Amino acid sequence: MSQIYLITGCSSGLVIALARDIAKLAPLQELGAATLTLDVTASQEELIRTATAALAIYGSVDILVNNAGYTLFGAVEDLSYEECLREFQTNVFGPIGLTRALLPHFRRRRAGTIVNIGSLCAWETYQGVGAYSASKAAFRYFTEALGQENAGTGIRTLLVEPGQFRTDLLNPRNSTFVETNILEYRDLTAASFANFRNAHGKQRGDPTKAVAPILDVIHGDNEASGREWPGELALGPDAVETIRSKCERTLKLLNEWQGFSSETDAERV
């Protein structure tokens, strides 16, 4: 049976795609997809209206994919409150708001899948991407808590944490580079910005190959057939390598400092 997808920040949709600029969605419309405009930084009321409009198109939504994203580059000290707020509004608060708008629908049906596109940066940050990494870390734990809260309700959550793929994430249209006026950061940010700008279009991963494993997990097909629902999925060999390395280093640190860290319990009476 066909399932209805609602996908934000989409350049190649499956059924319903949302974007700020409806003109960019013309190819999807030609393929039969229904499209709506949405600014994920809009108010909760506006997100509810958009969710209601999406539900009216086919009568239901089976799978929500929170895919909208925005990258803010800059040393932490250089970033303004407003710049950080925009990063979190796009990468965290907007997806939370849209998810909240659709949860009552999923609960009534006792079925629904929420797929949140995270990042390996939730595990390992780099100089110049502190705000982006922080937003993806927040999104990671929002997804984890949501999954725990809806266990047994028929609502599933899947956090996809991709490595570097040749998407528009590093496209200047989707990124902001905050230049520094602080002498100590000039060489650091110059090198970091150059690396990210030069990486656009040359990333390791092929986005067309990223779709199949996500769909297989959602539908329990191919390699995912018969497996327990994972809740999270590292996507791409660089994501797997980065997350494994972070876990190994964290375990090593815990073991080395365990005695020092653990003598904190209150005395027993």
CATH number of 232's domain: 3.40.50.720
- Looking at the whole model, is its pTM more than 0.85? yes
Write the DSSP symbol of residue 62.
Answer: S
Torsion sign over Cα 128, 82, 122, 15: negative
Report the domain count for the chain.
Answer: 1
**What pLDDT is recorded for position 196?**
77
**What pLDDT is recorded for position 174?**
73
Residue 93 located in a structural domain: yes
Q: Coil, helix or strand for 22? A: helix
Q: What H or E segment, with its residue span, contains residue 17?
A: strand 16-19
Distance separating alpha carbons of residues 158 and 264, to the nearest angstrom: 36
Distance separating alpha carbons of residues 18 and 225, to the nearest angstrom: 30
Question: For the chain, what is the radius of gyration of the CA atoms?
Answer: 20
Residue 30 located in a structural domain: yes
Distance separating alpha carbons of residues 54 and 101, to the nearest angstrom: 11
Residue 98 located in a structural domain: yes
**What pLDDT is recorded for position 19?**
43
Residue 124 located in a structural domain: yes
* Beta strands across the sheet bearing 5-8: 34-37, 16-19, 5-8, 63-66, 112-117, 155-162, 232-235
Residue 259 located in a structural domain: no
Angle at 214 between CA 211 and CA 218, to 5 degrees: 135
Distance separating alpha carbons of residues 238 and 78, to the nearest angstrom: 29
- 141 counts as catalytic: no
Q: Catalytic: which of 5, 70, 132, 185? A: 132
**What pLDDT is recorded for position 134?**
98
- Of 79, 145, 65, 70, nearest in space to 112 by CA: 65
How many angstroms separate the Cα of 235 from the Cα of each of 56, 88, 113, 160, 203?
33, 23, 18, 7, 14
Residue 232 located in a structural domain: yes
Torsion sign over Cα 259, 260, 261, 267: positive
> pLDDT by residue for the chain (269 residues), tens digit each?
678 999 887 643 333 444 445 556 566 667 667 888 888 889 999 999 999 999 999 999 999 999 988 899 999 999 999 999 999 999 999 999 999 999 999 999 999 999 999 999 999 999 999 999 999 999 999 999 999 999 999 999 999 999 887 777 777 777 889 999 999 999 989 988 888 777 776 777 788 888 889 999 999 999 999 999 999 999 999 999 999 999 999 999 999 999 999 988 888 87
Residue 146 located in a structural domain: yes
**What pLDDT is recorded for position 1?**
60
Full domain range(s) for residue 146:
5-253
Q: 87 near 70, Cβ under 8 Å?
A: yes
Residue 225 located in a structural domain: yes
